[in-house]
A and B are shown apart, each in its own frame.
Chain A
Amino acid sequence: MINTTTGVRPIESGGLRVLRRPRIMDPGPAAIAGTALIILLTVSPLATLATSVLAAGANALSIVTQGPVLLLIARTGLLAALATLWAIILGLPPAWILTRTDLPGRRVLLAVAVLPLAIPPYIGALTYITLLGPVGWVNTTAQALGAGGPIANIYGLWGGIFVLGLFTYPYILLMAGSALQGSDPALEEAARAVGLGSIATFRRVTLPLLRPSLLAGALLVFLYALSDFGAVSLLRVDTFTTEIFHQLNTRFDQRNAAVLSGVLVLITAGVLIAQRATLGRRSYVQRRSGVRPPTVYPLGRWKLPALCCTYIVLGGSVFLPVALLLYQTGSLMTLLQTLVSGYHFLWNSLWTATVAATAASGLGLFVAYLAQRRQGPVGLLLTSATQLGYAVPGTVLGLSLILLYNAYLPWVYGTAAMVIIGYLLRFLPQAVQGSTAALVQVDAHLEEAARSLGRSAWQALREVTLPLIRPGIAAGWMLVFISSMKELAATLLLRPAGFDTLPVRIWIASIEVDYAGAAATSLILIAITAVPLFLMTRRDATLSRIE
């Protein structure tokens, strides 16, 4: 089935595969129960939203056709699109440089380059307001040196694009990087052998192979930018989410907010469908050949420019924010004090994120397995249901969960489980994607072979498939963990009284104008979140060396 010379196989292979479609798993009670659970979990908040929209009637729908709202949709779309483009510009070159060249220290640099994922964009926004705000360091210095007026302004649409791209590019880097790392050198060698130059080889062989992972990364950035609230509100960009917030919190109009959120859900669904359509039939997923590592190109005289390019990106997204936070913290004592006095906030963050990530990985694997191994509407339905969790802004999700759980599961409501459910719903798509990406690389016939040797479906899954897809699951686990550690909007609403997490503490410290406390807490959050990120990149390196 697998074309061993290319190490590439179509996602939807025809021919024999269709004739002998393996039936790996019977729709046992476990599968049905799991499906029901996930549908209930993910669709119920959306149903609440839909009920509010319907209750609002045609009258409330008129808000969508109003000029200002159309303008907001356009502005938010532009913000998300340009932030994605910016993230690709920032993420793709380092992805190639750090995986495919002989740049000195590239393993360490790769571990550092994904660190912005540990920095919540609202903290990034604060950094750049301090630096590039109207009275930020850059402007005051310029004016002291004789400039007539402010030379830079971080506020507004361009600032929003700049900051969002800067702190989400690792999604591109990670996705493209692992595709580049796993790619089989034979393909590029073949292209070279037929006389293509380096650039032509990249354009005609490497880039098309990268496309699915690049698209997956771009999707993560785009959807993130679409639903971000913290950074855009700090940077004074009016977007769809800030308008929803306005409807909820100034007008106390939950129906308008529901209608607007519904639009956001539709936009997100449209984007997801578009992605599916783009990938279509022509897409290929690369298998890790496991035989030979990918070609490493010597940089030669390009070493210095490549190093500079990498360091500039790292400087803006990691070194600067961390240095600024260290400066604002003031002293090591402040950091220690914050750590000691706030250890239970750290603990709250840690265990809720751990449980959420573990639950999400389990459910994500289930969804991915069903979607990949069993054709039909159920898998598609499940995948769509879980992915729509992307679209609902944290505040709206929080409010619909309050309504649902307080009414129907009051013994869950008011406990930390609500926070976990919030994380789970918001970040389940990341776990599903992690598992799906890993699963498409494992041929279903491997399981079939195991079954023909007398293993049960469960044993085949456990003994054959699971070990092969473990890295994908682990990557999904870590993404969910990291996102959960940073989550603020839904947590603020869902946490039981007296239960704060690190981002909640950062938020409280910043409204109290306790800069040192906010900075110290941010540093702790970044340091903790960096650990799984570091392990994730280390792990790739270690695995390839052992093999």
Chain B
Amino acid sequence: MTQVGKSISVYRFVRSLPRWVLLFAALLPAYVDASASAAELVVYSGRKESAIKPVVELFERETGIKVALKIGKTSGLANAILQERGRPQADIFIATEAGVCEILARQEVLEPYASPGARAMPAEHKSSRGLWTGISGRARVIIYNKNLVKGGDIPNSILDLADAKWKGKIAIAGTRERTTLSWLSALVQVMGEAKAKAYIDRLMANGLKVLPDNSDVWRGVGSGEFAVGLTNSPNYHLAVQANLPVGVVYPDQGPRGMGILVNPNAVAIVKGAKNLDQAKRFVDFLLSKPAQDLLVRHAFEIPLLPGVDPGAVRPLSGFKALPINQERLAELEDRTMTLFPGL
């Protein structure tokens, strides 16, 4: 009896549901208007939320400027900026890799701005036309699983990875990760097309595992799925933070070694930005010491500006870097993709 009673009340509730839903839907437009907040600065960021949010919050506190933050994949946000070119929505674009900024620069959707704070920035980490500025960097390193790789086996050069003992044990993110793409372009630039191609072909023949993204690489190496991974320096620290048995090598450091590619994270102002003054203040702020400290420390990035404490991370001065310019890397991109179709 009670069962039936309950059923009927459930039934009545279900029957009245459409009416409530309609009422709810009718009232919503009012809410939509209220939610379209009047942000004074719109930031599209490809950086992780945990890395960029503290900086944005500090900026809001110090300047009183309200920021609307949109987190996404760097390339997805770049595509959105391209689509929005007729009527830009974003004021600031933060990219995890400078090549994207070069692509946007070529499409003429960026606004030049030379922040005073960028003066001390090394030339290879900022646009020569002032269209973007590096904010922090990451080095292209080798990581390895400490349980699987020991002592003398630890590779010192990326060239060592073509050795048969690594057959099927190396992981890399494909060119869908843009840091891999610029690394490959850098190889083409430094080694020459033929040598770079021969090297990658040997890696492929050695069973190189091409994964969708970098987090697959460091998690895979950390868990023992792979012995060695080619990835970016912050990922080593993330793996350590996650208590994974991972070691790191900054390869090719000998007197004749070619050195390591450093990819900058970059900030750019979107052309036609509605809040240009606030955007400029934001760029200045990102290059200021308090913001740099937050940016670098939270995400294990390499400081690109002198005088910023690198914390646990090896500083720029601590290894031999490849002197290469981002515009050149961007020019090489198309060629690189046709050279390495399997990646």
Residues of A near any B CB (own CB < 8 A):
68, 133-135, 233-234, 236, 245-246, 248-252, 254, 351, 354-355, 357-359, 395, 399, 402-403, 406-407, 410, 413-417, 470, 473-474, 477, 492-493, 495-500, 508, 511-514, 535, 538-539, 542-543, 545-546
Contact = CB atoms under 8 A, between A and B. Distances in A.
Contacts of B44: 497
Given A355-B25, A415-B32, A497 B39 contact: yes
Contacts of A508: 49, 71
Given A252-B103, A351-B31, A354-B24, A399 B83 contact: yes
Interface string B226-254: 00000000000010001000000000000
B70 A495 contact: yes
Contacts of B176: 245-246, 249-250
A413 B43 CA distance: 16
B49 A354 contact: no
B79 A497 contact: no
B194 interface: no
A246 B44 CA distance: 21
A512 B50 contact: yes
Contacts of B8: 542, 546
Given A234-B212, A535-B14, 20 more contacts: A68-B341, A133-B225, A248-B76, A248-B79, A250-B75, A351-B28, A354-B24, A354-B25, A355-B28, A358-B21, A402-B80, A406-B86, A415-B35, A492-B72, A493-B79, A493-B80, A496-B36, A497-B44, A498-B39, A542-B7
A538 B225 contact: no
A546 to B, nearest CB: 6
Given A351-B28, A415-B32, A535-B14, A497 B43 contact: yes
B37 A498 contact: yes
User: What 4 pairs between A and B have smallest CB-CB spacing?
Assistant: A249-B75, A497-B68, A497-B70, A498-B68
Among A355, A417, A498, A545: residue with most chain B CB under 10 A? A498
A233 B72 CA distance: 17
A513 B43 contact: no
Contact of B78 (A134, A245, A252, A546): A252
Contacts of A246: 176
Tell me if A's interface is mostly helix, strand, loop or mixed. Answer: helix
Contacts of B11: 539, 542-543, 546
B82 interface: yes
Interface of B: 4, 7-8, 10-11, 14, 17-18, 21-22, 24-25, 28, 31-32, 35-37, 39, 42-44, 48-50, 68-73, 75-76, 78-80, 82-84, 86-87, 89-90, 103, 175-176, 178, 181, 211-212, 215, 220, 223-225, 238, 242, 337, 341
A252 B82 contact: yes
A533 to B, nearest CB: 13
Nearest to A481: B21
A316 to B, nearest CB: 23
A75 to B, nearest CB: 16
A359 B32 CA distance: 15
Contacts of B83: 399, 402-403, 406
B32 A399 contact: no
A109 B186 CA distance: 58
Contact of A415 (B36, B76, B90): B36
B225 A358 contact: no
A250 B181 contact: yes
A470 B79 CA distance: 42
Contacts of A545: 4, 7
A359 B29 CA distance: 13
Given A351-B28, A498-B68, A250 B178 contact: yes
14 contacts: A134-B225, A249-B79, A250-B181, A351-B28, A354-B25, A357-B21, A399-B83, A406-B84, A407-B86, A474-B14, A474-B18, A542-B7, A542-B14, A546-B8
A13 B180 CA distance: 62
Among A234, A511, A546: residue with most chain B CB under 10 A? A511
B280 to A, nearest CB: 19
Nearest to A235: B212
Given A406-B87, A495-B70, A497-B68, A254 B82 contact: yes
B171 to A, nearest CB: 11
A407 B14 contact: no
A233 B212 contact: yes
A511 B48 contact: yes
A509 to B, nearest CB: 9
A438 to B, nearest CB: 14
A52 to B, nearest CB: 11
A5 B224 CA distance: 66
A348 B72 CA distance: 18
Contacts of A399: 79-80, 83
A357 B215 CA distance: 35
A236 B242 CA distance: 23
Contacts of B238: 513
Contact of A493 (B28, B76, B181, B224): B76
B84 A497 contact: no
Contacts of B24: 351, 354
Contact of A354 (B21, B79, B341): B21
A417 B337 CA distance: 38
Among A403, A407, A508, A513: residue with most chain B CB under 10 A? A513
Among A134, A252, A351: residue with most chain B CB under 10 A? A252
B25 A358 contact: yes
Nearest to B71: A508
A492 B48 contact: no
A492 B224 contact: no
Nearest to B13: A535
Contacts of B39: 497-498
Contacts of A357: 21
A236 B72 CA distance: 21
Nearest to A248: B79
Nearest to A358: B25
Contacts of B25: 354-355, 358-359
A263 B10 CA distance: 47
Contacts of A474: 14, 17-18
Contacts of A477: 18, 21
B69 A498 contact: yes
Nearest to B78: A252
A413 B18 CA distance: 29
B31 to A, nearest CB: 7
B140 to A, nearest CB: 17
Given A493-B72, A497-B70, A546-B11, A416 B32 contact: yes
A358 B22 contact: yes
A500 B72 CA distance: 11
Contacts of A511: 48, 215
A512 B69 CA distance: 16
Among A233, A251, A477, A499: residue with most chain B CB under 10 A? A251
